Chains A and B, each alone.
Chain A
Amino acid sequence: MSLLGLNQAANCMLNSRKSLEITGLNITNSQVEGYTRQEAVQTPVITGYSVEAPGSNVVSVGAKISEITRFRSGFIDTNYRNESINAGELSAESTYLGEMSQIFTDDSELGLSNILNEFWQGWNDASRNPDDTIVRNMVIEEGNNLARAIRLKSQKMTETTARLDGEIESVVEEINTIAEKLASINDRIIQSAPTTTQINAMMDQRDLMLDQLSELVGVQILGSVKESLTIYLDGMPLIANKKVYKLDVQKDAFHNFHIYSSSGKELNITGGKLSGLLDIKTDYIPEYKNELDEMTVAIIEQVNIAHKFGYGLDGSTGLDFFNGTSASNIGMNITAAEQVALSVPKLVSTSNINVDGEQVMSSETLAAASAKFLTAPEAAGTINVNGVDIDWLDTDTIQDILAKIEEDTGIRSTFNIDSQEFLFSTPPDSSTITINDTAGNFTVFTNILGAVTTGGEPGDGENGIRIFEISAKPIFGAPDPNQTINDKYRNLVSKVGFETNTVKSKNEIQSDHVKSIYEMRQSESGVSIDEETINLMKYQRTFQAGARLASVIDEMLVSLISIGK
């Protein structure tokens, strides 16, 4: 018997106390984000010669704490951060697209879609009572409402863009701040002893910051868990050991952001919140703005062309209805009710086409009415209206030919059976109509040209109908041909909705995926109070057993010493 037993008991008690300390640390930090559970690893202590076992030269004198280990998986960490990069990007996109969809969600009757419908109907209503000042004022008010609603959408997008700009700059600043902290902690990890609880705490902090950095930007992290790390962004270093290479953000003349490395190379940012914000800033919002602008320009141009051609009650003509050039500055040019151009000038035939008293009906064929014409039509021929050739046969009726003229040239006309007169409404893009009987064989139409009446008659609301009919006119070409202005707006709303919905769904899936990886990591690194309670009991009992061992050995030694007395 030697004093070796007392040493063993002492080691046992010391190790138990240390393990209890670590258990305490785990319990204390069980709800601290980023904390990794630790354990004091005990290994046997081997020493030399033993009196009791002369044949052996190796004996264990107990155990010692060889390492305070962290339960951390590098594989799960890498996985978590890679998925966080995607999640950060989708989350940022989802947030801002959510705002966009709110802008384009038309609540109740104040929505742009409804205001647009009311605007067109305003012209329709005004065409019925063209001399009524109240309906004329309503047309102006509805034009104002439309311009205001469009400007509001544009302004909301501009405000969102301004907020986005601020956030992009602050994210770059946050990346630089985290990079600085990471470099500093990196340096301290390199300098510290490898097995202390302090280094574990620093590595926890570093891991937490790496998680935060991954959410912000798609970085590439090189180096194992316990070593110093190097972090790259688009192939350029952001951190190398304790050195930080700060990012620089600059705005160009078109208000687009460019991110540069400290060496001046422009970086292609992929992944993370920063990438999501840049995508919204450079792709989504400009596209939506552009589509809204295209629709607005079409409204301004189409309504103005028709309005300029018409006449107001006060005889004014050639006036634009709207002013402005885009969604941000569309406004009203017309402010006085009498200037709303609801009537159009018309061309009236000056002489009849028939033999006196012989009525040509618009529904009978030219052949059938042949005898009633001053000049009998040929079997077939061509007339040229404003440069467009229109073929006719004597099996056509006058109504058929007028319909062909309208279809091919846009010139609308009527034939008054009683007066046997043609009445042509001159087209919006031209103040004259030229009709030639090119073949010289159809004089029916050659005598219809007459004086242009001045518009502005109080009972004429035809221009109101023309402007109302713009609502059904296919205006836009590729990629979606035959779109009306209303279609264009509806497609824009649909586009915003579908893109938001898609990104939102992706974000939810990605977020769930990141959560499941987080749970896997927690399964490895998280603290379970129940488990720690068992450890608490375990180390307490070990301590008690060590103490008991020391007590027993002490009693034995006392007995041994007392033999000689």
Chain B
Amino acid sequence: MRLSDMSRAKSIANELTRQQETMDTIRKEIVSGQRSLSVADDPAGYTTALQYKEIITLNEGYERNIESYNNELELYENQLDHFSNTLLKLKTMVTEASNDTSYRGSVESFRTRANNLLESLLGGANVIVNGNYMFSGSKIHDKPFTAERLNGEISQVTYNGDNMPKVFNPYTSETMRVNLSGQEIFCGRAGMDENVFQNIIDFRNDLGDSKLENADEHLEKIDNSLNSMIGKRGEIGTHIQHLENLKNFLENHRLTFEQKTSDLENIDMAEAVSRFLAQENVYKASLEVASRLYSLSFLDYIK
């Protein structure tokens, strides 16, 4: 085959350009640290990476939910502990009030203690966290309990919130409730005499000159409320544990997909540098060959 000078020149130029392009591609990979530079370079890898990133973002969202709701649940747990302790103190007081010896002559002291417990519970029920009332359902800007007072003592407590559950989807499983309304904790079941505030008020009002005769009745009501609270606390504890497990799972899941995304997108620097050096050698050799070819001409040998 004849080789024309133009054809040879073009062929060499094309080959050198192609090698420069290869080197430039590797250079861009090294500079950016990314394997796929455009969706056209590796469409399958690129779109798979998009899908992985979507999963990662979704997981991060679920993790944020869990983190946030776990904190809220822990606050409920703490508050329920506080309420349970208050009710335990109340139980002790009822027992003491039923004992003639300890009760005699200290009615006012008992009334004061009962009122203190009442105020303490009311304060806890109206607690504000991050600017919102914890126990008013979805009406987080409304004070959940308001008290009517007679001679400075609480005579009636009214619930102003609602009973709307706050639910969220922890992670493609059934939804989980993450709030407790004041109604559930303090008002109890209808017709069951489980209204904690009313029970304390009744107890205080029953305190008279002689020992408390209906202590058993009061103790039973307090026990009902206490059991209900302990039940809810256990439920919350289970939720917290479940969310902790889920959080660990989601973290591992996310890390797996982050690794997969990295495998798809990021380059192995050592391998890329080796490729660049190999390509550099090929390019240098091509330049050498081209320069020798051009220096060979029959014109140099004639006089």
Contact = CB atoms under 8 A, between A and B. Distances in A.
Task: Give the size range of A's interface with the partner.
Answer: 35 or more
A124 B168 CA distance: 9
A90 to B, nearest CB: 14
B297 A357 contact: no
B136 A533 contact: no
Nearest to A32: B6
Contact of B298 (A105, A359, A534): A534
Top 7 nearest A-B pairs (CB, nearest first) are A526-B4, A497-B43, A522-B7, A497-B39, A459-B140, A500-B40, A457-B138
A528 B5 contact: yes
19 contacts: A33-B6, A37-B4, A113-B53, A121-B57, A121-B61, A124-B64, A416-B163, A423-B164, A457-B138, A458-B132, A468-B61, A493-B50, A519-B7, A522-B3, A525-B4, A529-B297, A530-B297, A533-B298, A534-B298
Interface string B211-236: 00000000000000000100000000
B2 A414 contact: no
A498 interface: yes
A175 to B, nearest CB: 26
A234 interface: no
B68 interface: yes
A458 B140 contact: yes
B5 A31 contact: yes
A117 B257 CA distance: 16
A128 B61 contact: no
B302 A459 contact: no
A113 B5 contact: no
A111 to B, nearest CB: 8
Nearest to B69: A128
B298 A106 contact: no
Interface of A: 30-31, 33, 37, 97-98, 101-102, 104-106, 113-114, 117-118, 120-121, 124-125, 127-128, 131, 343, 346, 348, 352, 356-357, 359, 414, 416, 418-421, 423, 453, 457-462, 465, 468-469, 471, 486, 490-491, 493-494, 496-498, 500-501, 504, 515, 518-519, 522-531, 533-534, 537
Nearest to A526: B4
A490 B47 contact: yes
Contacts of B166: 459-461
A357 B39 contact: no
Given A117-B57, A343-B138, A493-B39, A518 B7 contact: yes
Given A357-B192, A460-B138, A533 B4 contact: no
B11 interface: yes
A526 B5 contact: yes
A350 to B, nearest CB: 12
A499 B179 CA distance: 51
Contact of A537 (B39, B41, B302): B302
A553 B298 CA distance: 35
B53 A114 contact: yes
A535 to B, nearest CB: 11
A489 B258 CA distance: 21
B299 interface: yes
B65 interface: yes
B164 A457 contact: yes
Interface string B269-303: 00000000000000000000000000001110010
B4 A497 contact: no
A102 B57 contact: no
B139 A457 contact: yes
A118 B61 CA distance: 9
Contacts of A98: 40
Nearest to B178: A128
A498 B44 CA distance: 8
Contacts of B167: 414, 462, 465
B251 interface: no
Contacts of A515: 14
Given A125-B61, A457-B164, A465-B169, 6 more contacts: A343-B138, A356-B192, A414-B165, A414-B167, A493-B46, A533-B298
A530 B164 contact: no
Contacts of A498: 43-44
Interface in B25-47: 37-44, 46-47
Most interface-central of A131, A418, A534 (chain B CB within 10 A): A418
B66 to A, nearest CB: 11
Interface in B234-253: none
B299 A419 contact: no
Interface string B115-140: 00000000000000000100011111
A34 B38 CA distance: 37
B190 interface: yes
A88 to B, nearest CB: 18
Contacts of B96: none
B54 interface: yes
A131 B2 contact: no
Most interface-central of B38, B40, B139, B164 (chain A CB within 10 A): B40
A523 B7 contact: yes
Contact of A128 (B65, B183, B298): B65
A525 B2 CA distance: 9
A490 B50 contact: yes
A121 B60 contact: yes
Given A31-B5, A105-B39, A419-B183, A465 B50 contact: no
Contacts of B6: 30-31, 33, 522, 526-527
B51 interface: yes
B46 A497 contact: yes
A418 B184 contact: yes
A486 to B, nearest CB: 6
A106 B40 contact: no
B189 interface: yes
Most interface-central of B11, B51, B138, B302 (chain A CB within 10 A): B138
B191 interface: yes
B150 interface: no
B50 A459 contact: no
Contact of A357 (B168, B175, B191, B228): B191
A131 B47 contact: no
A118 B64 CA distance: 13
Contact of A526 (B7, B41, B141): B7
Nearest to A460: B138
A523 B163 contact: no
B57 A114 contact: yes
Nearest to B172: A472
A106 B190 contact: no
Contacts of B7: 518-519, 522-523, 526
B165 A423 contact: yes
Contacts of B39: 101, 104-105, 493-494, 496-497, 500
A462 B65 CA distance: 13
Most interface-central of A352, A459, A471, A500 (chain B CB within 10 A): A459
A105 B190 CA distance: 61
B177 interface: yes
Interface string B1-24: 111111101110010000000000
B168 A128 contact: yes
B74 interface: no
